[in-house]
Structure 1
Amino acid sequence: MNNEYYDLQHIKAIPIADYLHACGIEPAKRYNGYALYHAPYREDPNASLKVDFRQNLWHDYGTSQGGSIIDLVMRMRGCSAYEAMAHLAEGKATTLAPFPFHREAHTERKRNEQRQNDARRILSISEELPLHLQNYLREVRKIDLAVASPYLRHIRYEVGGREYSAIGFANCAGGYELRDDKTFKGTIAPKDISVVAGEANNAPLCIFEGFMDFLSYLTMKGKESISPSIVLNSVSNLPRAIAYLHEKGIDSVQAFFDNDQAGRQALHSLQSAGINVEDMSRHYARHKDLNDYHVAQCKQQQEVQQQKPVIVKHKIR
């Protein structure tokens, strides 16, 4: 039976950043009033753990968990709330060696990045897509190349001595998201979000999960001015997008996420980060994603055109 009592408010006031520093854990990115860390209790290559210095609270965008320093210690040490309070009250954090999982995860991330770089070696990058990739975009994905081509590249790359070809979509870190005309989806590292400046004045920023959805948006807009946009390239990149929004002072977005659990979770994470979100998926609620909706609309229009009766005009002689 626990027979010691602790000053809960005093323990909760211990700065989370100081505790993490004492554990040898430093921020991946620091901003005004908060910082992003690689979550020390799980594999987290995207620095998803936000620590709010003013409120002294944490939130993990990858798992939607958060709370006080007590909750964080429980998560890190796999212990009860009482054990976490005892650990903090005794000041053990000041004598802790760097958290071992954090070191191991960091090493493993480096290995994974190296493996990715070794796995795919770029042979060439060109602006002109080969015919088979153009046909895939036009016929399967119903993308208008007239508006989409400026954002795309043809990437020739090598893996294990074999050459491949794919559509490339650049991200902010100098990497490329890859897509071929079959089922392959991949990345030329490093992986990151993509930011498109847009042309429309005072338009809300649009945020997409993948670049096929963004290309569908371009096609549907046609020659209209497009809004500034972020393409996540993976929902795991959401913390980076949130950091960008905070850095630019953007507090309102239109989200074109997939109609699945990951999409709903991403929407919730944006809202939890204080972003005002207009959920655009309501416009394609019966479809998997924006491109699936766009393809269905195109096919429906094509069927309507084919069903129109042909009127033959005869000349009066």
Structure 2
Amino acid sequence: MDREIELHRIKSIAPEIILNDLGIPFVKRPSYIEAPAVWRGEKRPSVSIQQNDFGEWLWHDFGSDKGGSWIDLVMVLYDWDYVTAVKFLREKYLGNSEIQVPRIIPKSQRVSTVKILEVKEVSHPALRKYLRERKIEKIPEWLRELHWEVKGKRFFGVGTRTITGSWTVRNRLGKWNLRELSNQRHSYSLIEKGSSYLAVFEGLFDALTWEQLCLKETDLLILNSTVNIEEALKVLEHYEVLVLALDNDDAGKLARRKIKNWFGERIINLLFSAKDLNEAFKYGEKIKFLE
């Protein structure tokens, strides 16, 4: 199936079907649907869901100013990345799978503590192969190889530390936000190199892609999730110029608007048509600059 057609079909799934499956209560109004933000532990409606001119359903949470398609909703519900969310929706609604829907746990209750066993230079052959598959050949010093343990099981991946001391980690199996303390918040990552330019990304692989492009030496800010945008805004005032390489989805566009409102016109946007910078780089798309 063509990728664009597949994504359109996913975004056009009837809300009665997907909301019932996800266990989200809703009320149909004459021109929209309202629902509570259950991922924030809310019981009163704060989410509006409407259909656009293309037949796709879009939601907006007025309590957090987040929104997007069903893909974005699943990402918020389960802390999944884009690829995992699309795979779940594809298998659940476009295939013949009897895949079970995970239980929604409010973010305030999502405390996943781990034991960090080792942090070192990236050297494991499986991780290096994983990076090469994403076209990451140059491995910067700030990217680390982590080994950790959860309930007696051991895992390993590549990641970077956030400003709160937690870790954002990726491997072939998925994405984790690792905390060693139950009261430790997950936040953005800031890699400082002494530059007056700051490049801003949503995810780890977009920042790694920027390092491959070698277009300009900059400090790096990895949001790790657009939920961290408000906290990260305070970092911007220390820089003369921002380079924005945010995703081409609703969450990325909203983050871009917030940054522009805060920072003004001293912004350079990276332009590409793919979903994110790494995908554009991976498929050889020409990346342009717009000041």
Task: Specify the TM-score bucket, using the shorter chain as the normaliser.
Answer: 0.5 to 0.7
State the partner residue of 2:19. none
Q: Give yes or no for the alignment of 1:179 onto 2:170.
A: yes
SS of residue in 2 equivalent to 1:276 = coil
State the partner residue of 1:303. none
Which has more helix, going by share of residues?
Answer: 1
Describe the shift of the 1:225–1:61 C-alpha distance in structure 2 as closer, same or farther (beyond 3 A).
farther
State the partner residue of 2:256. 267
SS of residue in 2 equivalent to 1:258 = coil
Q: In the alignment, is the contact (CA less than 8 A) between 1:129 and 1:153 conserved in 2?
A: no
Q: Give yes or no for the alignment of 1:149 onto 2:145.
A: no
Q: Could you give the per-residue CA deviations for residues 122-161 of structure 1, whole angstroms, max 9, x where no partner exists?
A: 12222233000001102x111123xx23111111111222
SS of residue in 2 equivalent to 1:262 = helix
Describe the shift of the 1:228–1:61 C-alpha distance in structure 2 as closer, same or farther (beyond 3 A).
farther
Which has more strand, going by share of residues?
Answer: 2
State the partner residue of 2:122. 128
Q: In the alignment, is the contact (CA less than 8 A) between 2:236 and 2:263 conserved in 1?
A: no
SS of residue in 2 equivalent to 1:116 = coil
Q: In the alignment, is the contact (CA less than 8 A) between 1:253 and 1:275 conserved in 2?
A: no
Q: Pick from 63, 66, 70: which aligns with 2:65?
A: 63
Q: 2-side partners of 1:276 and 1:159: how far apart?
A: 45
SS of residue in 1 equivalent to 2:123 = coil
Q: Give yes or no for the alignment of 1:191 onto 2:189.
A: no
Task: Compute the displacement of 1:169 (Å).
Answer: 1.1
Q: 1-side partners of 2:269 and 2:193: how far apart?
A: 18
Residue identity opposite 2:176 in structure 1:
G
State the partner residue of 2:26. none
Q: 1-side partners of 2:108 and 2:200: how far apart?
A: 29
Q: Pick from 133, 149, 160: which aligns with 2:151?
A: 160
Q: Give yes or no for the alignment of 1:213 onto 2:206.
A: yes
Q: In the alignment, is the contact (CA less than 8 A) between 1:199 and 1:226 conserved in 2?
A: no
Q: 2-side partners of 1:251 and 1:276: how far apart?
A: 11
1:242-261 equivalences under 5 Å are: 242-246=233-237, 248=238, 250=239, 252-261=241-250
Unpaired runs of at least 5, structure 1 = 1-41, 45-59, 65-107, 299-317
Q: Give aligned pairs, total.
A: 184
TM-score, L = length of structure 2 = 0.56
Q: In the alignment, is the contact (CA less than 8 A) between 2:241 and 2:268 conserved in 1?
A: no
TM-score, L = length of structure 1 = 0.52
Task: Compute the displacement of 1:110 (Å).
Answer: 6.5
Describe the shift of the 1:126–1:61 C-alpha distance in structure 2 as closer, same or farther (beyond 3 A).
farther
Task: Compute the displacement of 1:111 (Å).
Answer: 4.6
Q: RMSD across aligned C-alpha pairs, in angstroms?
A: 2.8
Residue identity opposite 1:187 in structure 2:
N
Residue identity opposite 2:281 in structure 1:
H
Q: 2-side partners of 1:294 and 1:179: how far apart?
A: 18
Describe the shift of the 1:215–1:270 C-alpha distance in structure 2 as closer, same or farther (beyond 3 A).
same
State the partner residue of 1:116. 112
State the partner residue of 2:90. none
Q: 1-side partners of 2:143 and 2:173: how far apart?
A: 18
Residue identity opposite 1:126 in structure 2:
K
Greater radius of gyration (CA): 1
Q: 2-side partners of 1:109 and 1:141: how far apart?
A: 30
Q: In the alignment, is the contact (CA less than 8 A) between 1:170 and 1:177 conserved in 2?
A: yes
SS of residue in 2 equivalent to 1:142 = coil
